[in-house]
Every structure is written in structure tokens, then in C-alpha cells.
Amino acid sequence: MKPFTIILIFLCQFGFAQSNELEVQPFLKEIVSQFPNVRDLAIAPNGNEIMFTAQSIMGNLSAIVVVKKVGKDWGKPQVAPFSGQHFDLEPFFSQDGLRLYFVSTRPLSPTETEPKDFDIWFVERTSLQSPWSEAKNMGSPINTEHGEFYPSIANNGNFYFTRDQPELKRKDDIYVSTFENGNYSPPKVLPDTVNSDGYEYNAFIAPDESYLIFGAYAREDGLGSGDLYISFKTQTGWTQAKNLAIANSDKMDYCPFVDTNSLYFTSKLDRTRTKHSTPLDMPALLQEFNSYENGLSRLYKIPFDANIYKN
């Protein structure tokens, strides 16, 4: 290959990477910046309500926060009425917005004080203006004595989630429970085109069940500690997952959610400037410390078209 050709390819690749990087934008920057860490986003079907998880610096305090639109702008964040007492995270709205699934370690009974393992729970409301009900545990066959995480539901009711099942002698895997005659079937682990011996987690299923975006940790083709991957459902099963490089950084990228033509996700992206030509004064130092892309968990948004990854 000629030297000029090599240089041209390099420049094209560099330009592509730079343009992708510039497309990744902070989401709800002013709101998210109020919290030490923010992760896992859920947008209501009508687009007027958002829920996300806010966590302490060490991640040992976790609550679900709700933000609603006031006119064309987002209002003040509030702790969701069913959250704030227990370790809660990972909300997901039903298709009509009248049910919200989430993960919690709360006890099964109000009389109990000891937390349970991670289970999937839900709250309901009779209309979009009505208050949420008391939280209800999904029970069997979704929940077990092991940890269940990150609910995501296709329009046909099929229920995707992550489970930690030690007897399989693997790390976390992604499961699906099909919705049949008004009931959930025993969950089945997705094939090795999606799962592996390592960690798979945070799976978002497309509403029409055509594709799955999920997180995976430290794969050979990974760009950072954790990356987002995409797999497509075909007549013969799930395709071999591809690295969703347009969103991934060299840090932890996780918790995907797709709405319309945008992919939302959480990243520990760190663009802190560590080299400076002159000493920083206090305002400049604090500005660098408190920048949005400083390595804490933050919400990001990027234009997204799943069809690009089909081939």
C-alpha cells in the first residue's frame, strides 16, 4: 500500500472518530450536574416525563428521580414518590406509561427491615395524572433468590432483564421471559451470540423486538472497561453482537435507552484536562473538577439508527 493511501485512510478514520465524539452530547446537563452520579434513563411514552437513578459518590445510596415538563422546559427534579427509602434504580415505563418497572432491594413485606436481594418491582397508576400505587414485587418466574436487574419490555410484552445465576458458573447474563396468555414464561438465557462467560447487563429491547442493545464488560473488541453492543433478532435467532462504537469511549459506557432517533446512555467519560500551560487559579481548578465530563456517571445522548449496524 502506498504511503499516501495509508495517510489518507488514517485521516479518514481519525476524522470519523472525532465526528462521532462530537455527536455525543450531555443530556439534561443542568439537572444531572446537581447529583454526584446519575445513571439509567427512562423516558415516558408521551415524552413529558423522565426518570433516572441518582446515586451517592460511592454508590451506596440510590434513589429514582422524576423530572416532568413544564411547558417546553423540564421542571425541578423530585424524588419519585415510591423511592427515597430503599436502594432503588433502573426504571422502565410500560408502553402506555401507566406502569413503571424498577429494581430494588426493599423487603418483601413492610414489617421486615432487612433488605432483600435485587428484585424487579413495579408501580401502577390509573391515568398519566394519577398518583403511583404502592410498589409490588413481580414475583416468580421473573424474580428468584438471585439478583434480577434492568427490566426492558417489548410491545408484545416479552420481558428482558439481567440475572445473576451462580449455578451456571458464569457472570451476569441477559434473559427473556415471553408473555404468553397473560402470563410470563420461565425465563430463558439468551444465546452466546449475546451472552458470554463474562458480564452482560443493562439490555434495552427495541419496542418491535428487532434489536437488543446491552452492556458487556472487558470484551476483546471493547474500547473501555464496559461497552455497549447491539444484536439483531432474525428468523434464525440473535445475530453476533457488534460493538456500538459510535457511543463507546475508553471508559465505562452502560445503561442504554432508545427513544425516537436518539440513543441515551450512561458514561463515566473523563475529559478532565490534566496538563496546563500555566498554573490554575482556584476558579479554574474548581471548573475543571466540576466539569460534566469528569469521570462521574453522567447521561449522554447521540443520534441513532439501528439499521446502520445490520450488515
Q: Which fold has domain 25-309?
A: Tachylectin-2; Chain A (2.115.10)
Are the C-beta atoms of residues 253 and 265 closer than 8 Å to each other? yes
Residue 30, classed as helix, strand or coil, is helix
Q: What was the pLDDT predicted at 170?
A: 73
Are the C-beta atoms of residues 40 and 54 closer than 8 Å to each other? no
CA distances from 110 to 86, 99, 135, 280 (A): 12, 21, 11, 53
Residue ranges in the chain whose pLDDT is less than 50: 1-22
Q: What was the pLDDT predicted at 168?
A: 65
- Per-residue pLDDT of 141-165, as tens digits, reads 999 999 999 999 999 999 999 998 7
Q: What was the pLDDT predicted at 171?
A: 79
Q: What was the pLDDT predicted at 202?
A: 98
Q: What was the pLDDT predicted at 304?
A: 95
- Per-residue pLDDT of 82-91, as tens digits, reads 999 999 999 9
Domain boundaries, the chain: 25-309
In degrees rounded to 5, what are phi and psi of residue 148?
-120, 140
Q: Which three cell numbers stand for residue 117?
A: 436481594
Measured CA to CA, the distance from residue 48 to residue 82 in angstroms comes to 19
Measured CA to CA, the distance from residue 115 to residue 32 in angstroms comes to 28
Residue 11's DSSP bridge partners are none
CA distances from 187 to 92, 175, 191, 235, 236 (A): 19, 6, 13, 20, 19
Q: What was the pLDDT predicted at 129?
A: 93
Q: Which three cell numbers stand for residue 268?
A: 463515566
